[in-house]
């Protein structure tokens, strides 16, 4: 972040944009689609670092929104874990089906 980006107004805008990105990601996962979160962790890290560098009273104004962001990220993490498990089970099922079909074909020869 640049020096100009350290103003509370710019940080609030950045926080809002990150929140929107997380909400969009959650809706994407809810539809069963995959989501690319590349760069989100770095963006959140920069945002938190910039907020930490604010004077204490200004930084405290971000406490509630940051806690909300943590909750949103936790929900997204849980959703991604569920999606990963569904994919894993699907692959295991596919593998088992493929193995059974291969074994059946071998007995037919």
pLDDT average, residue stretch 12-20: 96
Q: What is the DSSP letter of 3?
A: S
* pLDDT of 5: 44
Calculate what percentage of the chain has a pLDDT beyond 70.
80
Q: Does residue 103 sit within a domain?
A: no
Instruction: Report the domain count for the chain.
Output: 1
Q: What is the DSSP letter of 37?
A: -
Q: Does residue 32 sit within a domain?
A: yes
Q: Is the pLDDT of residue 96 over 90?
A: no
* pLDDT of 57: 94
Q: Does residue 107 sit within a domain?
A: no
- What is the domain range of residue 23? 4-83
Q: How far is the C-alpha of 78 from the C-alpha of 73, rounded, in Å?
A: 9
Q: Does residue 17 sit within a domain?
A: yes
Crossing angle of helices 63-108 and 40-52, in 10° steps, is: 160
* pLDDT of 107: 55
* pLDDT of 109: 55
Q: Is the pLDDT of residue 97 over 70?
A: no
Q: Does residue 11 sit within a domain?
A: yes
């Amino acid at each position: 972040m640049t020096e100009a980006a350290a103003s509370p107004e710019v940080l609030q805008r950045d926080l809002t944009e990150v929140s929107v990105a997380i909400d969009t990601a959650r809706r994407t996962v809810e539809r069963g689609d995959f989501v690319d979160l590349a760069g989100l962790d770095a963006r959140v890290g920069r945002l938190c670092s910039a907020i930490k560098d604010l004077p204490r009273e200004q930084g405290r104004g971000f406490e509630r929104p940051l806690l909300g962001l943590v909750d949103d990220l936790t929900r997204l993490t849980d959703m991604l874990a569920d999606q990963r498990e569904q994919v894993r089970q699907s692959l295991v099922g596919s593998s088992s089906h493929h193995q059974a079909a291969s074994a059946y074909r071998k007995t037919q020869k």
